[in-house]
Amino acid sequence: MNEIGCDAKRGAALSWPAAIVFDMDGTLLDTERVSLLAWRATEEATGHRMPEGFYETMIGQSEAGYRARLAAVMPAECDLDAFVREANDRYRRLLHEAPVPHKKGLVALLDFLRAAAVPLAVATSTSRRLAEAKLEYAGLGGRFAALVCGDEVADSKPHPEIFARAVSALGAAPERCLAVEDSPNGVLAATAAGIPTILVPDIAPVPPEVRARAAAVLPDLDAVREALEAARRAGQSRQPEEA
């Protein structure tokens, strides 16, 4: 893929994909802010605080992945099981109190890809039970041909397993697909699986070395749709020449 820039890459020219794999939280759904509220409230309620900036490094990881890291940084007097359970309970309650919010441009992007018959998958570190519930609450049930979840893989993002399984489920070669991610852990996982990746940053800071691995860095899903529309037009214009 050609790379040009916002952050030197904003207008990157993308190839038309055989399939697309999306992250869920922070990419499809605006739920990372909800999760952050739950974890901050848990810190206030318990008096136990994560190190500054630690929450952002958890984004994109499965519960098993971030629990192991929490165990290494939380004070000995913190009951880690109770701490994580309270944060998760608060998160679920918040999700039930209001509609699960979409990221900007989501429905228009999914409608465009459905009309173009592009197979879609979700690769999320969330457990299957919660992932399916969130997609249903968000009105996205039936939109994706495959769903691979954090409790179904041995290794959490940034390990590539979850993306490798997603493209396998779609029956496509990784290099002919696209991934769409918001977090450093997700970008590292998708690119390690050999999938060109669009980064749409959310609340997690993305270091320059991770941005450099992305095929494009775009501000929202409307911009993703516009880039894919351009890729489709470019592909169609080349077909007569190739014939």
Catalytic annotation, residues: 23, 25
How would you label 76-91 residue by residue, b for 16+ Cβ within 10 Å and e otherwise? eebeeeebbebbbebb
Q: For residue 94, with 0-12 CB atoms within 10 Å meaning exposed, 13-18 middle and 19 or more buried, which class applies?
A: middle
Q: Would you call 108 helix, strand, or coil by DSSP? A: helix
Cβ contacts of 48 within 8 Å, gap of 6 or more: 74, 75, 77, 78, 83
The DSSP secondary-structure symbol of 29 reads B
Largest CA distance in the chain: 70
